[in-house]
Amino acid sequence: MSVAEKSARRFRQETPLGRTRRARKINRILAETYPDAHAELDFTNAFELLVATVLSAQTTDIRVNSVTPALFRAHPDAHSLAAAQLGDVEEIIRPTGFYRAKAKSIVGLAQELVERWDGEVPGELAALVKLPGVGRKTANVVLGNAFGVPGLTIDTHFSRLARRFLWTASEDPVRIEADVAELFPARDWTMLSHRVIWHGRRICHARKPACGACPLASLCPSFGVGELDPDRARGLLRFELAEGAQ
């Protein structure tokens, strides 16, 4: 039996209370490991965050941050973007990929904001998800980081880690959100999202997690799916692991 199989077996019969306690301990350790965790998209207001989050689909935050300064200089608000020519917007956001569909979405959502919300971004989930290109993930990013309304950001990193932690067995984002929400008080959701996503980007990679350098090793049912040798695992880290964090 492999290390990963032994680890998974150890947690397979976990009670709901045991899972909740383990999940909250994971969150505490992530808070110690990533004290500066935050949304990595650059923004100064809800409109900029909404547009940037739509652009972040199928690309990196770094790539989005490289194009949004020019986009927001040209179109600083919903009224300006709503009146923009699609071709001009496409050229600015081309490096993010899928630029034609994204340009259509962000111009369309700007037009919706102007027509229905006087150019302002609404602070309610039900209203946000009706905007072009905006789903629950994008809406929760905006609510949590621009309005202070707790929300879980179920992106690819969060989904992967939620399954590795056995917080859920689902691959459906809505089901994952519901399963994880049961484990934590609502006040923790936004910061939990940042911490889990940071961990997924920096240590618990999709293809080769740095298990041997992970501060969650003793709490993770998937320990052993990645590199176990401590030295080689540290070589996989995409940030400086604080001394004593393991």
Residues with a known catalytic role: 137, 155
Residue 57 backbone zone (phi > 0: left; psi -120 to 50: alpha; other: beta): beta
Residues with Cβ within 8 Å of 148's Cβ and at least 6 positions away in sequence, in order, are none
Residues with Cβ within 8 Å of 233's Cβ and at least 6 positions away in sequence, in order, are 210, 211, 212, 213, 214, 226, 227
Q: Which two tokens stand for residue 184?
A: 């934590």
Q: Which residue type occupies 172?
A: D
Q: Which two tokens stand for residue 211?
A: 């298990």
d(CA 83, CA 47): 15
d(CA 202, CA 51): 25
